[in-house]
Structure 1
Amino acid sequence: MTPGRGAAGGDRHVDAFLRHLADERNLSEHTLTAYRGDLDDLRRFLTDYYGTPEWRWPTVDRLTLRSFLGSLERRGLARRTAARKLSALRTFFAFLHLEGEVESDPTRGVRTPKGDRPLPEFLSRGEMDAVFEVAETRAADNTLRGTRDLVILELLYGSGVRLSELHGLDRADLDLVSEQMKVRGKGRKERVVPITEPAALAVRRYELRRAEAIAVARRPDRRALLVNPSGRRLSRRGIQRTVHELIEEGGGTETAGVHSLRHSFATHLLDGGADLMSVKELLGHVSLSTTQIYTHTSRERLKQVHRQAHPRSE
């Protein structure tokens, strides 16, 4: 086995692991970059820990990894960040063990750091109404941008899709007759989600302006649902900027953005009586525990209402 050679040098095992994730699990470039960053973080620590860049992966044991987690805490990193890094290391060492590069997986004896999970930020129904009023006013101008902005809002809040899922949508992914669309989530897994009737109407109005932009463009992206004035697929940053502007004009907080619309979608469904399993499927979550955070959000909101309204509450 080749030495670790520190974070600055190459490591064929890390490279092989990342190729495995890309080829076998179809992970996005963004996710692969995050994995590499976490492994580089560990490699830097190991070079300092062992006092040499010539360490090898089989020398890494449970106590070494616990020392690594301790170093993260001393650096002031949140426990949630440490837990995410440990999760990446578990996947990496499982790969090395499967490939016969290490005799045993040292992460098995390391406990995941536990910490309070922050409640997701979401907008109230009244706040969402204000944001939609801004978007509908823009759409009334019947411009490419105005009609497109309303489509963005309708699909993010009406269907709870992620930013990456909305960005990657092709026009062929939407079936306006059956009011549903096909999205590609994490790991490029496909799922079908419903779209609201207002969303379908917004798409139909936007399609005329989209067709005009594509018709005059030199190199248009004819597949993309959301396009810019040049007829190319609207960037993720463009979607984020649009949502931030709509929320800001609607009187929302500065920190609210695309993620807030997905959180609002889930919270309002549960408030309306939807069951947790259905919300899990709509969001495309792998684990039910990920979806359960929204039940906590609803409970906290009810507690706040109780504190503010009940005469016996301070």
Structure 2
Amino acid sequence: MNSQENCIDLFLEYLQIEKNYSQLTVESYKAALEEFFIFINNEGIEQFERVTYQDIRIYLTNAYKKKLSRKTIAKKISALRSFYRFLLRERLVHENPFQLVSLPKQDKRIPKFLYSQELEELFHLSDESTPSGQRDQALLELLYGTGIRVSECCSLKLSDIDLSLGTVLVYGKGKKQRYIPIGSYAQGALELYLSQGRQQLLSKGKDEHSFVFANQKGGPLTSRGVRYILTALIKKASGTLHIHPHMFRHTFATHLLNEGADLRSVQELLGHSSLSSTQVYTHVSKDQLRNSYMSHHPRA
């Protein structure tokens, strides 16, 4: 194994053990590093120490030529900057050439969220007389009622839910823990599913497991399975809804802020490490804008 590959392995180990990054994040960093590793080898650069700012300019020019999004390029730069920061700490290089590179400005996109009437329609689609219907309803109510990520939802175990207190313990990014209130609707849906539907779904599988949500074959539900459930539900809807699982998280945050919740509380509930990540939800819904205009404009 050459020194470059060894440096990458040491860094990935550092991300997993010291930084407690999720496997998904580690894989993302690994892909960025391997791509950069191929680039510098093609350029005849044998050591990370010999990479210069000019080399990075060529690398970024190639990335832009591939028409990668600003967000994707920003992630690559961030991963490589962290890698060189680690190499500096370990005294494997003498400077961080990525320190001079600025991240591309991001397009400010307002997160898509669901309106109350759209949610109401979704909440009436599940057939709660069936095990899968009870699971689907509990899933919808929990995603909207807590704002947890789909990956966090799929990772939930029975021991993480306390129905007597009405809370759920969530393991977020970096294995950070946070408690979130469940809410009465989500609690009711969960109680029905856990007392009936879950056991019936589990009976179809070969092995018992402690994950809250089970798929049709009794195994643990995956993020892909959640997308499949949503797609199936939307087909029953009368309108032309376009929903992805993360929209429930956007909706949770938007509705809380629109109803007067403070930003810091929403940050805690979402598990954001910085307030800037939460501030994207401070936009106002079109309905609120219209109502405000109609109520206050003299010529409305």
TM-score when normalising by structure 2? 0.90
Match among 256, 281, 296 for residue 294 of structure 1: 281
Tell me if 1:103 matches 2:98. no
Q: Deviations over 1:14-39 (max 9, x none)?
A: 11111111122222222111111111
How many angstroms apart in 2 are the aligned matches of 1:31 and 1:253? 33
The equivalent of 1:159 in structure 2 is 146
How many angstroms apart in 1 are the aligned matches of 2:53 and 2:290? 44
Tell me if 1:68 matches 2:52. no
The equivalent of 1:7 in structure 2 is none
Note if contact 2:180-2:269 (Cα within 8 Å) is conserved in structure 1.
Answer: yes
Shift of 1:281: 0.6
The amino acid that maps onto 1:257 is H
Shift of 1:70: 2.5
Tell me if 1:37 matches 2:31. yes
Shift of 1:56: 1.0
The amino acid that maps onto 1:80 is K
Match among 231, 237, 245 for residue 258 of structure 1: 245
The equivalent of 2:110 in structure 1 is 119
Tell me if 1:26 matches 2:26. no
Shift of 1:191: 0.7
Query: What is the DSSP-based 3-state SS (H/G/I as helix, E as strand, rest coil) of the residue aligned with 1:183?
Result: strand
The equivalent of 1:176 in structure 2 is 163
Residues 295-310 of structure 1 aligned to structure 2 (within 5 Å): 295-296=282-283, 298=284, 302-303=288-289
Query: What is the DSSP-based 3-state SS (H/G/I as helix, E as strand, rest coil) of the residue aligned with 1:108?
Result: helix
Shift of 1:47: 3.1
The equivalent of 1:242 in structure 2 is 229
Note if contact 1:144-1:206 (Cα within 8 Å) is conserved in structure 2.
Answer: yes
How many angstroms apart in 1 are the aligned matches of 2:136 and 2:70? 37
Match among 198, 206, 209 for residue 218 of structure 1: 206
Note if contact 1:80-1:117 (Cα within 8 Å) is conserved in structure 2.
Answer: no
Shift of 1:299: 6.1
Shift of 1:41: 2.2
Tell me if 1:232 matches 2:219. yes
Q: Cα RMSD (Å) of the superposition?
A: 2.4
Q: Deviations over 1:282-309 (max 9, x none)?
A: 100011101111113x266655767899
Shift of 1:44: 2.8
The amino acid that maps onto 2:91 is G
The amino acid that maps onto 1:61 is T
Shift of 1:190: 1.1
TM-score when normalising by structure 1? 0.87
Q: Which runs of 5+ in 1 are unaligned?
A: 5-10
Alpha-carbon distance change, 148 to 101 in structure 1, aligned in 2, over 3 angstroms = same
Shift of 1:264: 0.7
The amino acid that maps onto 1:129 is E
Note if contact 1:3-1:57 (Cα within 8 Å) is conserved in structure 2.
Answer: no
Tell me if 1:55 matches 2:43. no
The amino acid that maps onto 1:66 is R
Q: Which runs of 5+ in 2 are unaligned?
A: none
Shift of 1:147: 0.2
> Which is worse superposed, 190-199 or 61-70?
61-70
The equivalent of 1:13 in structure 2 is 7
Q: Deviations over 1:139-169 (max 9, x none)?
A: 1x2x210000001001100100001100000
The amino acid that maps onto 1:266 is A
Q: Deviations over 1:28-70 (max 9, x none)?
A: 222111111111222233234x2x2x52100112232233222
The amino acid that maps onto 1:291 is T
How many angstroms apart in 1 are the aligned matches of 2:54 and 2:6? 24
Query: What is the DSSP-based 3-state SS (H/G/I as helix, E as strand, rest coil) of the residue aligned with 1:119?
Result: coil
Shift of 1:106: 1.4
Query: What is the DSSP-based 3-state SS (H/G/I as helix, E as strand, rest coil) of the residue aligned with 2:178?
Result: strand
Query: Between Structure 1 and Structure 2, how many residues are aligned?
Result: 298
